Amino acid sequence: FRGGGKAWLNVRVYTPEELVGSHVPLPVLLYFHGGGFVIGNLNTVEGWLTHVCHWSKCVVISVDYRLAPENPHPAAIEDAVSCFQWVVDHAEERGWDSSKIAVGGDSAGGSIAAVLAQQALARKFQVKPCFQLLLFPSTYLGPRRPGFKSIEEFGKEDYYTMPFKSMIYFRNAYLGPDKDGLDVTVSPLVAEDHVLRDLPPAYFGLCHFDVLRDEGREYARRLKESGVSVCLEEWRAHHGIIYLYRKVGYAKESLKGVASHLRRHMYPAKL
């Protein structure tokens, strides 16, 4: 279908095998892959999203949004908005429950999902996301904050999978070097309290050894203090641990926990 820039936008839809042809509308997770707004595609998350689909019993729709630097901000956000509206518009014909559309993503995709939830309020969507699934999300692209110690702890060396120098490259490719990064459509963390209090419940899966850990913690704290129901899990692992679900038992168990939490929220009366 046509995305935010009127170019064709690809999605990949996963449906739980045992629920194909079900006469009951199924809940949906609209998912945005990670990659610093610059890299990644539908295949990047293909493997473990099939597991999330199976374990959660939700339809999972993976979005191939436009990437920077060829398509800088706000291209990814406009694609996310268009995709959400597409899901709502086609829910009935495809057997999806439009009252149960969650938004989620990892890393940069987590930022897109968080911004989308806020934009649903700002743009007065008739149907809004019912849940946020935010996995080690980027929530702040503004000037350095002394309180975010995880950048100093885990951003100096390549050992921790995402050094700070990589974050700077991704940020500049997405925003350009002259932007301050304080717009809410790139830094959902800076949204005002009256916006946060109307957001849907959120699950945070953070990584302890991660430059993004503290901004994730801070966004979770602000949501909780605004009255939003928040569940936060912090894995003793580096950024992107769930991508290792095939080789690392801890990663697979963490991914199962994500899917279980999603299932409990989307099927509260059946568990």
> Active site includes 239?
yes
Out of 62, 107, 138, 187, which one is annotated catalytic? 107
Largest CA distance in the chain: 53
Closest CA to 214 of 166, 153, 162: 153
Residue 211 to residue 153: CA distance in whole angstroms: 7
CA triple 136-264-139, angle to 5 deg: 20
DSSP state for residue 5 in the 8-state scheme: T
Task: Select which of 51, 73, 238, 239 is catalytic.
Answer: 239
Is residue 54 among the annotated active site residues? no
Question: Rounded to an integer, what distance in angstroms lies between the CA atom of residue 91 and that of residue 162?
Answer: 37
Active site residue 210: yes
According to DSSP, the β-strands at 10-14 and 59-64 are: antiparallel
Catalytic residue among 51, 210, 238, 265: 210
CB 137 within 8 A of CB 106: yes
Q: Residues 46, 33: contact at Cβ < 8 Å?
A: no
57 and 267 in contact (C-beta within 8 Å)? yes
Instruction: Please tell me the distance from the alpha carbon of residue 3 to that of residue 207, in angstroms, as a whole number.
Output: 32
Which residues are known to be catalytic?
107, 210, 239
